[in-house]
Structure 1
């Protein structure tokens, strides 16, 4: 049997119990604070990464602005579309190409896409030439051009799509 002289008194037992509960509470607070700090750090990193990614996506390079265009199968941003790239164009260009040249190039590339039947139900072919609808050009938020088939002028079409009319 245990010698009762080695056991704590009731008062000492209460002190030890209070001390133990206080330490558990402090440790729990430290752990909670640490988790909160880690969670805030992770959330901040995600927010910064997402923002940086959105900024990177929101602005195309000057070469992309100069020499690529999105060609749409309908006057709708959700419509089937493809990106046309002007082959000889310098994708690393730092100098803007004049807007009139960019629009002309974008519409020519998209007309060629329509002409080979890319937006026809049967798909493209090199044995038949398909009709090219009236094409209008708008400016995407990243600065590149988007070409849509439409009977409306760009000044009417672009705002309906939530896009800007092309500008320098």
Structure 2
């Protein structure tokens, strides 16, 4: 096998992961979630092929800009993000655009989307923003699950990047 073949062999064997983040339910002050941690959790199960953050009209321009700088495709909806996110998850599963569908949320409304993805042969990965932001219904519907741990103060002091909790009250 040539050098290029060896470089890309592992990548081709890795499952394709589509990450969908429910911004209003994950990026809340009480969870102190960093989008980099969400992305890393999804990347741990395969190669990220789609990284989407869904926000509503209350998202600040700073949040949108920071998310885009971290490689997220930001989708802003005029109302609740649930319908758009669920439709996109279903489309990815039906169109075979991902092997693993990862949803970061605490909202049980996504349980039918996870079940649909499962029925199309996708593995599903529920990412909870924290122990108190965990939806047991999502965790039980998904084939895999993880709960993000809150970062320690020491790590936050070393991080000069802008905060991603950016919703106006």
TM-score band w.r.t. shorter chain: under 0.3
Structure ID, larger Rg: 1
Q: 1 or 2, which has the higher strand percentage?
A: 2
Identify the structure with bigger relative contact order (alpha carbons < 8 Å, sequence gap 6+): 2
